[in-house]
């Protein structure tokens, strides 16, 4: 998390890429408030799980380069192609994963696992080596996920990307349970003046608090889990199921 109160750590009991037989890969979670560790959770037997862990600024979304984890550190939403290194923007709406060949970055939304962008570097793709994979974190972003740096290795240079438009997506909705007529806080990316929302298929009144936060009034809906859909004036749209629960 941004304030350091929650940390995810990934480790392995062996070396990779031929030096020695690779051992299981584990994840731990550290909570500074209680000074306790959770885990380890073994992830190596899950096909899409790979790469180093990431957590968003609010601590609401946890991920690896292969997809999103639940708070038990178990696989929740896979993306189409696993990768080496993972980054989340500060709201947890977008997952940035560096491919194993070091040549491209895929940007996926964290609720559906769908690719939103693929960024291809202009340098020379690296040949994976144990020192490269184990000793570096070759991907970096700014908090909003707008500015991105990709490293090709110690001798092959960098690629830098700056997005003119950040994909529309949602990271977290709070509270997780709300009443009709109540207010929810939607944290995500790509919000602009004029972003409209439908909750449970009904138009919802929303106010843009900032470019990463919407405040929305819950329409009159039947109790139960409900969906959310967003649309921007430029035609970008985004939707996901089970956004929150109506009481």
- DSSP states along 185-246: EEEEE---TT-EEEETTEEE-EEEEETTEEEEEPPS--SEEEEEEEE-TTS-EEEEEEEEEE
CA-CA-CA-CA torsion sign (220, 221, 225, 228): negative
**What does each C-alpha distance from 71 to 39, 64, 201 come to in angstroms?**
11, 13, 28
C-alpha angle 3/148/48, rounded to 5°? 80
What's residue 24's pLDDT? 63
Q: How far apart are CA 44 and CA 146, in angstroms?
A: 31
In the numeric block, which tokens belong to residue 74? 């178990």
CATH of domain 6-162: 2.130.10.10
Tokens 């830098």: give the residue. 160
pTM of the model: 0.85
**What does each C-alpha distance from 165 to 59, 121, 229 come to in angstroms?**
25, 18, 19
Pairing of strands 202-204, 196-199: antiparallel
What's residue 58's pLDDT? 87
What's residue 174's pLDDT? 96
Q: Where are the domains of the chain?
A: 6-162, 169-246
**What does each C-alpha distance from 89 to 52, 169, 200, 223 come to in angstroms?**
15, 11, 26, 32
What's residue 129's pLDDT? 46
What's residue 200's pLDDT? 96
pLDDT (tens digit, 0 to 9) for every residue of the chain, 247 residues total?
A: 677 777 777 765 444 444 444 556 778 888 888 888 887 777 665 555 666 788 999 889 998 888 898 888 888 888 766 677 889 999 999 999 887 666 788 999 999 999 999 998 775 444 444 444 444 567 899 999 999 998 765 556 778 999 999 999 999 999 999 999 999 999 999 999 999 999 999 999 999 999 999 999 999 999 999 999 999 999 999 999 999 999 9
Nearest Cα to Cα of residue 240 among 106, 1, 86, 76: 76
C-alpha angle 110/226/246, rounded to 5°? 120
Helix, strand and coil content of the chain, in percent to the nearest 5, comes to 0, 45, 50
CATH class, range 169-246: mainly beta
What's residue 132's pLDDT? 44
């Amino acid at each position: 998390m941004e304030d350091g109160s929650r940390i995810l750590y990934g480790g392995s009991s062996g070396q990779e890429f031929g030096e020695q037989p690779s051992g299981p890969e584990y994840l731990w979670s550290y909570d500074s408030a209680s000074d306790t560790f959770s885990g380890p959770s073994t992830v190596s037997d899950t096909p899409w799980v790979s790469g180093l862990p990431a957590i968003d600024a609010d601590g609401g979304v946890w991920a690896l380069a292969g997809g999103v984890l639940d708070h038990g550190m178990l696989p929740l939403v896979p993306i189409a192609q696993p990768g080496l290194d993972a980054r989340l923007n500060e709201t947890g709406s977008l997952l940035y994963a560096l491919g194993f060949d070091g040549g491209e970055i895929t940007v996926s939304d964290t609720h559906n696992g769908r690719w939103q962008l693929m960024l291809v570097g202009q340098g020379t793709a690296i040949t994976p080596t144990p020192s490269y994979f184990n000793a570096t974190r070759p991907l970096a972003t700014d908090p909003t996920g707008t500015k991105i740096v990709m490293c090709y290795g110690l001798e092959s240079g960098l690629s830098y990307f700056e997005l003119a438009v950040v994909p529309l997506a949602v990271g977290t909705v709070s509270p997780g349970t709300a009443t009709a007529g109540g207010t929810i806080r939607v944290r995500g990316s790509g919000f602009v003046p004029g972003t409209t929302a439908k909750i449970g298929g009904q138009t919802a009144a929303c106010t843009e608090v900032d470019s990463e936060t919407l405040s929305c009034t819950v329409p009159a809906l039947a109790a139960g889990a409900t969906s959310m859909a967003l649309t921007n004036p430029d035609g970008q749209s985004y939707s996901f199921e089970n956004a929150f629960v109506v009481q």
